[in-house]
Amino acid sequence: MPEGVRRASPHLPTRVRVLYSSGMKRIVVRELALAVSILALTLAAPAAADGAADREAPPEERLGSVDFPASCVPGVHAGFNRGVALLHDFWYDEAEPQFETILNADPSCSMAHWGIAMSLFHQIWDRPNEAVMARAWAQIQAAQAHPPRTSRERQYVAALSEFFRPDPRDYQARINAYAAAMGALYGRYPHDVDAGAFYALALLAAKSPDDTSVTQERKAMDVLRPLYLKYPDNPGVVHYTIHACDTPSLAPQGLAAANHYGEIAASGPHAVHMRTIS
């Protein structure tokens, strides 16, 4: 792993949270340190074939349903969808090489640079250090040097540049700008479920440390609630609903997502540890 890039697993503390309790039913979300799980899944998965457009995944792999249009060669479409699903699961250590493999197969796929930069953007886990900021910005510059073919894709790149662009702004100003840009993207492309999901995640990430209200969580749920009804198997929609409802007043709204996430994304380490127990 390059210097300055912090691996995903240490950022999730070992803890058990009771989201909701009613009568004989207790809904529990478990977030365990993922190092062991990620290592086990990595060793169990078959190695990627040299030069393959997509990293090889077990045929039974379940990461949810993603269909993310990207102006890349058709042969990498499935791999790109897998990369976006990995981002939604916070499986960043696997998402980054997935997008790198796509870029090797199709150097003209500018959105693969966006995917690599997103793999370095652990929005609700930590704040990137200077080395990570520089690596991500280099990827965004590479995407901008050969802009994606569609305005939608270019807006994804532009939104991420709002966070990583070098300037004196502090973290809060950066994350607020990114959230606003993702909101504009989703407003322009309301049928883009992944734009909606990433926007909701940005709203959660934009909550300031001293904010004790649930304003940001409610804003995220306003985005996610209708998406969940229409796209119940999208891993971002389901996963981020659980995080948005990680507070007693909203917990009942997250029960369906908490029950469903491990079903649709059983191969994702994060989903494995966010199961519900009745």
As a whole number, the mean pLDDT across the chain is 82
Residue 103: CB partners within 8 Å, gap ≥ 6? 109, 112, 113, 116
Residue 187: CB partners within 8 Å, gap ≥ 6? none
Q: How many CB atoms lie within 10 A of CB 178?
A: 23
**Residue 276: its pLDDT value, please?**
44
pLDDT category, 125, cuts 50, 70, 90?
confident
**Residue 262: its pLDDT value, please?**
86
Question: 249 in a domain, yes or no?
Answer: yes
Q: How many CB atoms lie within 10 A of CB 104?
A: 14
Nearest to 262 by CA among 69, 76, 64: 64
Alpha carbon 62 to chain centroid, angstroms: 16
pLDDT per residue as tens digits for the range 51-100: 445 555 666 788 899 999 999 999 999 999 999 999 999 999 999 999 99
Nearest to 192 by CA among 41, 66, 75, 85: 66
Question: 7 in a domain, yes or no?
Answer: no
Print the domain residue range for 57. 12-272
pLDDT per residue as tens digits for the range 162-220: 999 999 999 999 999 999 999 999 999 999 999 999 999 999 999 999 999 999 999 99
Backbone angles phi, psi at 252, to 5 degrees: -60, -30
pLDDT category, 273, cuts 50, 70, 90?
low
**Residue 55: its pLDDT value, please?**
56
Question: 243 in a domain, yes or no?
Answer: yes
- The whole-number average pLDDT for the span 34-56 is 40
Question: 6 in a domain, yes or no?
Answer: no
Residue 20 pLDDT exceeds 80: no
Question: 278 in a domain, yes or no?
Answer: no
Question: 259 in a domain, yes or no?
Answer: yes
**Number of domains forming the structure of the chain:** 1
Question: 5 in a domain, yes or no?
Answer: no
Name the helix (H) or strand (E) containing 252.
Answer: none
> What's the CA gap between 43 and 58, in Å, rounded?
12
**Residue 274: its pLDDT value, please?**
62
What percentage of the chain carries pLDDT values higher than 90?
69
Question: 4 in a domain, yes or no?
Answer: no
Q: In the chain, which residue ranges form alpha helices assigned H by DSSP?
A: 35-44, 77-88, 92-105, 110-119, 130-145, 151-164, 171-188, 193-205, 215-230, 235-244, 255-264, 269-272
Backbone angles phi, psi at 122, to 5 degrees: -90, 80
CATH of the domain at 174: 1.25.40
The pairing of beta strand 15-22 with beta strand 25-31: antiparallel
